[in-house]
Chains A and B, each alone.
Chain A
């Protein structure tokens, strides 16, 4: 089975600062990767799919990149409303939609 890891597990950044979250797959998954944001007490929300395609309505400060085994989610200018846990999810196999363990983002 392909394992998904995320780093860091948590981070604090200043408002307006740049945030980068890394997601790694133990084997290549091409660009079959999505990113979700889950604010405290809320339902997960789709941010990005196909590694870099921004879901409609998601602010442009969010971006995704990568292919194969290494992927990144970047928040170009962190806002207070971005406090959340971020999950990557692979879907190269329709029968194994594994999520990463999550990265918690706070304001410094």
Chain B
């Protein structure tokens, strides 16, 4: 059974960085697209970016450009999301999710998150 297993909760100081991991088990990691989505307490879902390990390509939401780095280690089937310059508003649960892409044309696709990790709570507090 394919699973995405995330690292444990973190408590960080404002201005520091956090790195969350997401290990895929039971599947073919190299063929995945891994996205990161966060959810602040009591709030909605926010897409942060993705990595396509097979081509080592990353895309980031404009809001997080310059502050987030998503990487992948193909040898361990693990994706990472590092967020820097943390502030209190970054307190949230961070999810990794497998993004499935169904190409319609060469440029357009139906894409959806069909497998999610359990989430990692990151608390930013002085």
A: which residues have CB within 8 A of B? 32, 34, 36, 38, 43-46, 49-50, 53, 55, 87, 89, 91-92, 94-102
Question: Is B113 a contact of A44 with CB atoms below 8 Å?
Answer: yes
User: Interface size for chain B: under 10, 10 to 19, 20 to 34, or 35 or more residues?
Assistant: 20 to 34
17 A-B pairs whose Cβ atoms sit less than 8 Å apart in the complex: A32-B110, A36-B45, A36-B113, A38-B45, A43-B95, A43-B117, A43-B118, A44-B37, A44-B95, A44-B97, A55-B114, A87-B44, A94-B109, A96-B47, A96-B61, A99-B44, A99-B47
B: which residues have CB within 8 A of A? 35, 37, 44-47, 59, 61-62, 95, 97, 108-114, 116-119
User: Roughly how many angstroms separate A49 CA and B104 CA in the complex, as a whole number?
Assistant: 13
Contacts A32-B110, A46-B114; A95 near B44 (Cβ below 8 A): no
User: Interface of chain A, helix or strand or loop or mixed?
Assistant: loop
For residue B63, give the distance in angstroms from its CB to the closest CB of chain A: 10
For residue B88, give the distance in angstroms from its CB to the closest CB of chain A: 21
